[in-house]
Amino acid sequence: MTPFIFTISATFLCLSALAAEPVRVFLFAGQSNMEGADTDPKLVETFPPFHNALRPLENVRYSYQTGADHKSKGWTNLRVVGNNFGPEITFARAFRQQSKHPLALIKDAWGGTTLVNDWAPNGGNEKSRKLYQRFITQVRDRLADLKKQGLTYKIEALMWHQGENDMFHPIGKQHYEKNLRNFIAKIREDLSTPGLKVFVGEISTKGIWGMDNRANVTLIRNAQMAVVESDPKVFFVPTSHLSFKIGRPVGLHYHFGTLGQLQHGEAYAATYFDQNRISNRQGLRMPKAKKIKLFILGGQRNMEGEGSWVTDIKNTPLAKPQKALYQYNLGKVTISNAWEHLSPIKHLEDFGPELSFGQQLIPSMEDGEILAIYKFTDSGSQSLDWLPEGSKESYRDRYQDWITGIKKCRDDLTQQGYQCEIPAIFWHCGENDRALNWMAQKYTDRFQTFMNATRKDLKLPDLNWILTEQPILTAEITGDEKLYDLNSDLEALDARDPNFIFVKTSDLPHTTVLFGSKGIIALGNRMAKAWTEITLE
């Protein structure tokens, strides 16, 4: 009987220890992209990685004040509020996957608010919404409720997403760094948490603010980064690789929308848990071969594969490792560190055209020859970011990383004894540039500069470039009734550059600017067909 009694006692002690664990309290605050503007709970189940994301979680408390109208009466269950939700939903889910500790979330958010006034600890001006005191009062009240219940607690962190409205305020944008420091210091003082961790969410460059207000976004970002870099307890949360809402009335939108918010919460969790964004998949044993054809794939959303779900191909050959080498750099947040077999990777659980492209070209490799692919994308970028001289918003520059990554792959293969040839670069026309006429008008000239600089730096003056068409945007999507005819410019470039080919792809399955799973597979097939036709000429 003794072992049985011991087992029961041990189990009881474990349960007691868990019950005694302090409640982990996370604070969420900010403006519309923290509030969850333009989300739709009915759409959540349409995104495979987030099935059951709205399912209740055990041992999770929630308190909220959002906008002017929504306020919980004490602690409640984690829920959608006013038909909207923010990053707290999937943050809690990701936290629960990592930890069984009791969890509590306190949220205060109001769209269109500024740090210079609405969130100012001193109350701002007479028109301010006095959100700082509202926030602190809510936190104190909920902590007092926990204490009344006989529970201990630990305030773990503040998740902050705000800055878009300050960037239009003549004083707010100039003093954002000072105001953010003061805001953080005052919260730490008022909550008696001098070491409180703060996670600052990036203003996405994929939204309309990131495209037509580049300088203002950079001003706020630089202020936020100055705080991050000088305070070891403040952390930056990248978001420009996440989905962003598309459609009227503002084309590429101000808000993450449903899918972006689901990913947004996971981004905070990834930074909080310090999850390594460099791939730790083991490099493969390099195959025996004499020659390698290294194809380069680059671009933005559709080359990355936004909205193309790995679950849609799970029962197909595309889901299995293929006999081709693969490396990638996806928007600064997911980077491989060794050659892998060509296969889906765990990046937002989506996939790009490289899978079907590789599937089509692998059989065409000659004896002693293998296929390799290096993919480099940044779905929050514009043509300005790929220019060799860079732009005024230097933190967005991609060219040097692009060219360094290609050279590194080629040199690595050469040093391992392969004869490495780069036959072509496949590029997908910029979705972000095409949405704005003033950007589309300059796209082809900038692309030619980028293309020729790449040829020069790789010492491949005749390097083939194959550019695939971004589906033509409609006025309904962009809000612009007179869209610039970018295709005519690209067709003219095709006519004058013998090593450049423009491939039409608008006939492939797509919704708004995204191809989706079927369209991405078809895009990879179209790319492979274009290359086959070149080699047959």
pLDDT tens digits along 178-192: 999 999 999 999 999
* Distance in angstroms between the alpha carbons of the first and the last residue of the chain: 84
Report how far residue 382's alpha carbon sits from residue 396's, in angstroms, rounded to the nearest whole number: 9
Domain definitions of the chain by residue range = 36-162+175-272, 292-536
Q: What is the DSSP letter of 489?
A: H
Q: DSSP labels for 421-461?
A: E--EEEEEPPHHHHTSHHHHHHHHHHHHHHHHHHHHHTT-T
* Higher-confidence position of 9 and 498: 498
Q: What is the pLDDT of residues 158-181, one digit of tens each?
A: 999 999 999 999 999 999 999 999
Which are the contacts of 445, defined by CB distance < 8 A and separation ≥ 6? none
The answer to which of 35-39, 68-72, 324-328, 478-482 has the lowest mean pLDDT is 478-482
Residue-level pLDDT at 20 = 74
Fold exhibited by the domain 292-536: Rossmann fold (3.40.50)
Q: What is the DSSP letter of 123?
A: -
Q: What is the pLDDT of residues 405-443, one digit of tens each?
A: 999 999 999 999 999 999 999 999 988 888 788 899 999
The interaxial angle of helices 176-190 and 214-230, nearest 10 deg, is 40
36-162+175-272 belongs to CATH 3.40.50.1110: yes
Q: What is the pLDDT of residues 225-282, one digit of tens each?
A: 999 999 999 999 999 999 998 876 556 788 999 999 999 999 999 999 997 666 656 6
Residue-level pLDDT at 479 = 57
* Higher-confidence position of 459 and 475: 459
Tell me the average pLDDT of the chain: 92
Phi, psi at residue 28, to the nearest 5°? -120, 130
Which are the contacts of 66, defined by CB distance < 8 A and separation ≥ 6? 35, 36, 81, 82, 84, 107, 108, 109, 110
Written as six digits, the tokens of 409 are 């792959």
Residue-level pLDDT at 9 = 40
Which are the contacts of 493, defined by CB distance < 8 A and separation ≥ 6? 444, 447, 448, 500, 502
* Higher-confidence position of 42 and 432: 42
Residue-level pLDDT at 233 = 98
Q: Does 13 score more than 90 pLDDT? A: no
User: Mean pLDDT throughout 118-143?
Assistant: 96
Q: Does 351 score more than 70 pLDDT? A: yes
Tokens 């919260």 label which residue? 187
Report how far residue 237's alpha carbon sits from residue 263's, in angstroms, rounded to the nearest whole number: 12
Q: Does 481 score more than 80 pLDDT? A: no
Number of CB atoms found within 10 A of residue 417's CB: 10
Burial of 496 (0-12, 13-18, 19+ CB in 10 A): exposed
Q: Does 488 score more than 80 pLDDT? A: yes
Q: What is the DSSP letter of 48?
A: G
427 touches 376 (CB < 8 A): no
Residue 109: its H or E element: strand 103-109
475 touches 208 (CB < 8 A): no
Q: Does 509 score more than 70 pLDDT? A: yes
Sequence-distant contacts of 411-416: CB under 8 A, at least 24 apart:
412/339, 413/292, 413/294, 413/372, 416/286
Residue-level pLDDT at 332 = 85
